[in-house]
Each structure stands twice: as C-alpha cells, then as structure tokens.
Amino acid sequence: MSTDRRKFLKHLGTSVLLTSASLTSLAAQEEHEIRTLRAEKRAGPNDKIRIATIGMGIMGFNDTRAALSVPGVELVAVCDLYKGRLARAKEVYGANLFTTMDYRDILDRKDVDAVIIATSDNWHSQISIDAMRKGKAVYSEKPMVHQISQGLAEIQVQKDTKMVFQVGSQRISSIAYKKAKEMYDAGAIGKINSIEASFNRQDALGAWQYTIPTDGNIQNVDWSRFQANAKVRYDYDQNRFFRWRNYREYGTGVAGDLFVHLLTGIHYITGSKGPERIYAIGDLAYWKDGRNVPDVMSAVVHYGETKEHPAFQVTLRVNFISGEGDKTVTKIVGSEGVMDLGGEGDSFSIRNSKMAEAPGIGGWDSLFTYTEAEQKKLMDDYNKRYNESQRMRPKFEPITYRAPQGYNASNEHFANFMDAIRNGTPVVEDAVFGFRAAAPALLCNDSYFSNKVINWDPVNMKII
Ligand SMILES: NC(=O)c1ccc[n+]([C@@H]2O[C@H](COP(=O)([O-])OP(=O)(O)OC[C@H]3O[C@@H](n4cnc5c(N)ncnc54)[C@H](O)[C@@H]3O)[C@@H](O)[C@H]2O)c1
C-alpha cells in the first residue's frame, strides 16, 4: 500500500478491509468518500428540494432522517392517520411543520417537490400514482404494490408523467452491494447455480408486535381512511391499525415485506429480470395473535436461463421464531465460490473453492472393491496421467468487504433519488425494477394461499 493510501485510510479512521486483498475494497471506500463530497458540493440555496412524508410511522421518521442527510433537502409537510404521530413530527421538526390526515392536501401544495410514501403497503400504489400525476417526484417504500394488478398501471403512470420514481429497498444503494455486483460480474464465484436467502428472527418486535400508544383509539385515528381501499371493512381494531403487517388486507405478509428485500438484492447483483416459476409453503408456528399471514414461510423460485445469467434456483425463507436467533443472509453459490451478503447489506464475503484438475482416486471410492492387481493397474495409470499439482485443489483466502463504520445505505439511496431530481440521472430502483422484485414476492403469497405453482413472465411482468 502506498503511503498516500495509508494516510487516506488513517484520515478516515475506518476499517474497510479484513484481509490482505486491500486495494479492491479500498476502491469501495474511496468511492464512498467521493460520493459524499459530490453531494456537499451540489448543495446551494437555489438548489433546494422540498419534501413531504406521507405515513409518519417507523419508516416515515427513518426515511425523513435519511432524506434530510442529503444537503439541500428540506421537510415542509407530513401526513399520517394517527394524531399522535403528527404531534411527534412537530416535536421533532418544529411547530411550523404543516401536518394533515389527508394526503391530497400534501399533493396540492406547490412547495412540495418530492414525497416519501411510507404508509402501510395497501396505500403505496394509489398515493404514488396520485403524486406523480400531481407532478411530484416519488420515493415509495417497498413493496411497490399491494396487489400484482397494480404494477403495470403504476409503471405506465411513471412513463406518462416522467416523474422521478424510486422504490425504497435501500440495500442496493450500499457500496457493499455495488462492490459485490462488480465482483460477481467479474466472475469471482464462477457460474451461478443457486441462492439461499433468509431472515431469521426471534422476538416480538421482529415478529411485528409493535408498541401501541395508550391514546390509539378511534378518536385519534382516521380508521375509515386507513381501510378505504380494502374489499372488506372491519370495526376499529388497534392491532389492525398499529400492527397492520399481520393482516393481508393492509400488508403483504413476510413475503411482500421481507422476501422483496432479498429479491431486490438478488436481481441487482445478477442483473436478472425475475423468476419464471414460484412455489411457497407457510405455517403459523408461534405468533398466534390473530394475524392471518404465516410466521414461517419458505419458497422455491426458479430463474430460467437468459442472456443476463444461467438458470439458477433460489430458496427464500423467513422464520419469526427461529432458535438460530436473529440472522439475515443471502448466499450466492457459483461453480467456483460463494458470496455471502450479510445483514443490512453493509458487508459481504467471498469464499472460493475450485475442483482439482484430476478427478481423484481411492478413499471413498469403488477402487478398494477391486482385486489387488486391478487396483495397482488403475493407480499406475492415474499416477502417469496426473502430476502432483493437478491432484491438488487450489487454495484461496476468504475475503470480507465492509462499508466504513457509520455508513448508511438509506442515506445513499436518498442521495441517488435526489441526484435524479436535480440532474436527471437514473435512479437505482425504478418502477420496472421495483415491480419485478415485488411481483415474485407477492406471488409467493398467491402460491401459499392457493397451494399452486405460479408461472411468471418476468420480461412482460405478467402471470402466465
Ligand atoms: N426499506 C426498509 O427497510 C423498510 C423497513 C421497514 C418498513 N418499510 C416499509 O415502510 C412502510 C411503513 O412501515 P412502518 O413500519 O413505518 O409502518 P408504521 O405502521 O410504523 O407506519 C405506517 C404509517 O402510515 C400511516 N398511513 C397508513 N395509511 C395512510 C394514508 N392513506 N395516508 C397517510 N398515512 C397513512 C399510518 O397512520 C402509520 O402511522 C411499509 O410499507 C414497510 O414495508 C421499509
């Protein structure tokens, strides 16, 4: 390592690299540094982007914070259906913040350039479409849609209005994912054949039993607006409002909520448009709190051969009562190695393994079942054919790459969104990409509830 590079690392005070192959991961760190500097430079008084957040719950607050980390971004309004969250938004962002329970008030405002849609899943598509039609750039939380039938219409509105539209599965903006894709494309694990991806959790919050406020009653919640687009209406139930993920009417189960993150990462790295065959099974194993979605779910998904990739199989699993504790993995298996992408997409490792050139003989083999004379003949022939090095498996050191400490993929995802608004650069997760990740995730639910294999056309984005 040159002295300058060493100084650069010391200056940043972060450790990116855990092994000796330092220069490649250093490049990733440099790239992060450059991005930050670019964002700083562009901030200016004439270059403000005014945002509003619709759905000011857990992710609404998180997304707003990430959006405001991009220089030149200002929050002017928020919308939510529970009064307590509007009051909280004023506590955090100031008493002058405009608040409303009707998202159309936000879309009517001339001073809003972009909206973050962080509502329950049942409202993503409708509000996105309305917002684009009103000339707003849209950052829509995942999954892009609640129903497969909403996808093509939403893509069409984006094409017609040409509004900037980004879906919020932020891991693919991480420098770790960028580097992983670069390594994958360079053939670091050979030819891909399978992927195992899962979320394991083992606590009530992880299983979506979020805290309900003491004043979370019908007087403080706009319950009729919350369920306005549901086929079946229910009497007010705090669980249905504050723990909406547990109900298919408003959420999309573990598949729409979590498989979608896994598929987003997989599609980004492999360049795939999506699978062609999907089958899922599920159980309600532990969290029997009235929810109507499984808490353990597994899917087998087949990706056919395309010009982008060979055929490969994906197994997806979410387990909310896993004795393994909390663990999230995506393991991409190729003919010459494995890429493990951990947690929130801020690190990954590559382990290589290659076959020896010689096929091997003896040990767990049929050789010993033959006569002494036959064994000798076979061994002599083998030794003549293969030298020492042909009989050895090549050795490799595993390599781990990590984003710098404090690195935040959500901030990066919002920087990408704001770049698109300011400069017309492409977003990393547009409507077509977002739907191609959401649809197979939602089809896992369809497969589970109908107990059928679902065939999907990933190019035209249609059920076959
Ligand atoms: N990208 C990620 O990593 C990530 C992580 C968590 C959640 N999410 C997504 O973010 C979204 C929100 O999840 P959450 O955990 O913040 O839920 P939450 O329940 O904490 O917040 C959702 C809020 O949306 C509001 N809302 C619902 N319908 C509305 C409407 N029509 N108009 C205005 N407000 C409305 C509710 O009042 C509620 O306060 C979900 O779609 C979820 O999938 C993404």
| Last residue in a domain, options 107, 139, 171 | 171
The pLDDT tens digits of the residues spanning 99-125 come to: 999 999 999 999 999 999 999 999 999
pTM: 0.90
The Å distance, Cα 359 to ligand 1 centre, comes to: 55
* pLDDT for position 345: 79
Closest approach atom of ligand 1 to CA 62: 16
The Å distance, Cα 153 to ligand 1 centre, comes to: 22
Does residue 159 share a domain with residue 235?
Answer: no
Any idea what the CATH number is for the domain that residue 111 is in? 3.40.50.720
Tokens for 73, please give them: 């971004």
The Å distance, Cα 273 to ligand 1 centre, comes to: 27
The Å distance, Cα 245 to ligand 1 centre, comes to: 9
Does residue 180 share a domain with residue 164?
Answer: no
Q: Which residue has the tokens 């990739």?
A: 309
Give the burial class of 24: count Cβ atoms within 10 A of its Cβ; 0-12 exposed, 13-18 middle, 19 or more buried: middle
Does residue 26 share a domain with residue 48?
Answer: yes
* pLDDT for position 31: 43
| Ligand 1 binding pocket mutation candidate from 88, 141, 263, 416 (most atoms within 8 A of CB) | 141
Does residue 272 share a domain with residue 284?
Answer: yes
Whether omega for the bond prior to residue 213 falls within 30 degrees of 0, making it cis, is no
C-alpha distances out from residue 408 to 24, 61, 319, Å? 20, 15, 26
C-alpha distances out from residue 220 to 58, 211, 223, Å? 18, 16, 9
Tokens for 281, please give them: 């099974």
The pLDDT tens digits of the residues spanning 120-149 come to: 999 999 999 999 999 999 999 999 999 999
**Closest residue (by CA) to atom 4 of ligand 1?**
59
Any idea what the CATH number is for the domain that residue 285 is in? 3.30.360.10
The range of the structural domain enclosing residue 315 comes to 175-356+392-406+431-463
The Å distance, Cα 434 to ligand 1 centre, comes to: 17
Structural domain contains residue 7: yes
Q: How far is residue 24's CA from residue 5's CA, in Å, rounded to a whole number?
A: 12
Does residue 119 share a domain with residue 85?
Answer: yes
- Number of domains, the chain: 2
* CB of 266 closer than 8 Å to CB of 197: yes
- Among 263, 370, 356, smallest CA distance to 318 is for 263
Q: How far is residue 261's CA from residue 263's CA, in Å, rounded to a whole number?
A: 6
Q: How far is residue 137's CA from residue 128's CA, in Å, rounded to a whole number?
A: 9
**Closest residue (by CA) to atom 18 of ligand 1?**
57
CA end-to-end distance (rounded Å), the chain: 55
Structural domain contains residue 290: yes
Does residue 211 share a domain with residue 153?
Answer: no
Q: Which residues of the chain have pLDDT under 50?
A: 1-45
Does residue 25 share a domain with residue 120?
Answer: yes
* pLDDT for position 46: 56
Site residues for ligand 1, CB cut-off 6 Å? 54-60, 79-82, 85, 103, 118-121, 123, 141-142, 168-170, 225-226, 244, 257
